[in-house]
Structure 1
Amino acid sequence: MKFSSSLRYYLVKQPAIQNFTWICNLTPASSFQFILITVACYLCIIFLLTRVFRLRLPPPILKPITALYDTAILLLSFVMALGCTLSTMSHAPDLRWIICCPPNTPPSGPVFFWAYVFYLSKILEFFDTLLILLSDCHQRLTLLHVSHHAVVIPMCYLWLWTSQSLFPVVLVTNASVHVLMYAYYLSCALGVRPRWKKLVTECQIAQFRASFGALALMLGYYFFGPGCSGVWGWILNVLFFAWLLFHFVNFRKQAYKPKSE
């Protein structure tokens, strides 16, 4: 019980988390200009490191850096999933709130704090691309990889800007999948290639399909109830998830097809 109470304090009831409020243009990294500059810098760095400066790090240097980075993202993803779960359990008045926030819900409190951390973590994940550029594995730098990292930033920004419904479900599922995914990456960086790579892909596909199922439930609440907060922000999410689902299903088909084909 003492451990559980301490966990809830540091992940839910700590004053900075409990009293968090996201205010556009006042909260750090909350302006539209920040989004535009961040994504533009990301794309410029990719252009420079692929077309102008071809920097490479030798494996003895790159692998420890990659292992440290994978460990950091793995732990951060675990903390975000746990923090958002505990915050939702503590502050959601009912199960419906998790799917459909009431209209005009302010972006404040522990649940939105973890949405803010999740948003910032997607900027940190730009290092995925940098590590690829510093290696000799440029075939991994696909359009899917670059566009995914570029689009997810404004998508998560919309969660906060519109107090978007359903984001706790998406946050927890995505962060949980990232725990599994970066555990796989970490094992590879340490020289051990696990046999459950396909499981990572299956979980990624499952999270997108589950998101569409939850979205259908949210739309039911929206059209047959008093409404849901930030429902129009889901237009970008739906297009993004559909696009990712298509590419992941296609990747699974190509990567795991029978060898006899």
Structure 2
Amino acid sequence: MASVYSTLTYWLVDHPNIGNFTWTEGETLGSTVFFVFVVVTAYLSATFLLRHVMVSLPSLGPRILKPITAVHSLILCLLSLTMAVGCTLSLASSADIVPSHLTARFFQAICLPLDVKPSGPLFFWAQIFYLSKILEFGDTLLIILGKSFQRLSFLHVYHHAVVVIMCFVWLRTRQSMFPFGLVANSTVHVIMYGYYFLCAIGWRPKWKRLVTDCQVLQFLLAFGFAGWMVQEHVFGSGCSGFWACAFNGVFNASLLALFFNFRSKNYAKKTRMDLWAEMIKDVGQKAIGSKKID
């Protein structure tokens, strides 16, 4: 077990390309506002045009779409696993066995110091996570090619477009809480894309509820840790990228508001608790993956 840990630590934390990584605006891939603008504009334009072009064209059949979906899901599942493990090891690699040191490393996932530099393993994985969100545009392409237009909601497109901006802001402002967000979201995506991969190859697992449960837990933890971060920023030593965290919070709140509006119209006869349960479930399924979990 120790050898496995040492091997993973070397390849995911201490490797020169990772350990010596520095995010430099204007030099690192995707590190300019212009790049983000072009990527997001291209995504929105391509989605709009393909959506209307595919109306008059036949959809790709399951024999073509399922293998493509399987490969796409497997790649994102394995990439998400690598990012989750890599970021976790980056947080733990310099921790001592002394509990206070471990606590300090965990706290770093919530509140980065004001003078933190955008370099090292944590920012390397933040960069990979940022670029992976562009790869997730493939979700939208598969929906359009399959002509499943009912799943191509405003929220789906809005989420995929804005999350790229959000990840760019993580890096540019050295935003606190990004290590937690990276590990939590990547872990959820391991389960989610793993489920989609198994469905695509013809095996529908019985643990689909686990996907939703993990997504709900991710939201609850994020809300709780955000309060901790705000307290430390206001009354403690301060946290890097505080206003970027505020942008992140507004973005998440907008997702919740959109779903509350949608569910309040379609489930008017349900109780308030039912509405919240359905809303949180769909935030996980549609806002993060935008694929229906049958």
TM exceeding 0.5: yes
- Shift in Å, 1:97: 2.2
- Which of 241-250 and 222-231 deviates more? 241-250
Q: Write the distance in 2 (CA, Å) between the matches of 1:127 and 1:251.
A: 29
- Shift in Å, 1:69: 0.7
Question: Which position in structure 2 is the counterpart of 1:3?
Answer: 4
Q: Write the distance in 2 (CA, Å) between the matches of 1:182 and 1:250.
A: 26
- Given the alignment of the two structures, is residue 144 of structure 1 paired with residue 169 of structure 2, yes or no? no
State the one-letter code of the partner of 2:63: P
- Given the alignment of the two structures, is residue 165 of structure 1 paired with residue 176 of structure 2, yes or no? yes
Inter-CA distance 234–119: structure 2 relative to 1 (3 Å threshold): same
- Shift in Å, 1:245: 4.0
Which deviations, in whole Å up to 9, do the C-alpha atoms of 1:103-132 show, x marking residues without a partner?
Answer: 131110001100000000000000000011
- 8 A Cα contact 1:208 1:245, kept in partner: no
- Given the alignment of the two structures, is residue 84 of structure 1 paired with residue 87 of structure 2, yes or no? yes
Instruction: Give the secondary-structure state (helix, strand or coil) at the position aligned to 2:133.
Output: helix
- Given the alignment of the two structures, is residue 253 of structure 1 paired with residue 278 of structure 2, yes or no? yes
Question: Which position in structure 2 is the counterpart of 1:111?
Answer: 122
- Given the alignment of the two structures, is residue 179 of structure 1 paired with residue 186 of structure 2, yes or no? no
Q: Write the distance in 1 (CA, Å) between the matches of 2:143 and 2:276.
A: 19
- Given the alignment of the two structures, is residue 122 of structure 1 paired with residue 133 of structure 2, yes or no? yes
Inter-CA distance 252–64: structure 2 relative to 1 (3 Å threshold): farther
Kindly tell me the number of residue pairs found equivalent between the two proteins: 256
- Shift in Å, 1:250: 5.1
The gaps in structure 2 that reach 5 residues or longer are 96-100, 261-273, 282-294
State the one-letter code of the partner of 1:126: F
Question: Which position in structure 2 is the counterpart of 1:69?
Answer: 72
Q: Write the distance in 2 (CA, Å) between the matches of 1:191 and 1:202.
A: 23
Instruction: Give the secondary-structure state (helix, strand or coil) at the position aligned to 1:96.
Output: helix
Question: Which position in structure 1 is the counterpart of 2:268?
Answer: none
What is the RMSD computed on CA atoms of the aligned residues? 2.0
Inter-CA distance 91–39: structure 2 relative to 1 (3 Å threshold): farther
- Shift in Å, 1:78: 0.3
Which deviations, in whole Å up to 9, do the C-alpha atoms of 1:51-110 show, x marking residues without a partner?
Answer: 135453221111101101100000000000000000011246623322211113111000
- Shift in Å, 1:208: 1.6
- Which of 17-26 and 130-139 deviates more? 130-139
Question: Which position in structure 2 is the counterpart of 1:49?
Answer: 50
* Equivalent residue for 1:192, pick from 203, 216, 234: 203
State the one-letter code of the partner of 1:146: V
State the one-letter code of the partner of 2:66: K
- Shift in Å, 1:193: 2.5
Q: How many percent identity over aligned positions?
A: 50
- 8 A Cα contact 1:208 1:241, kept in partner: no
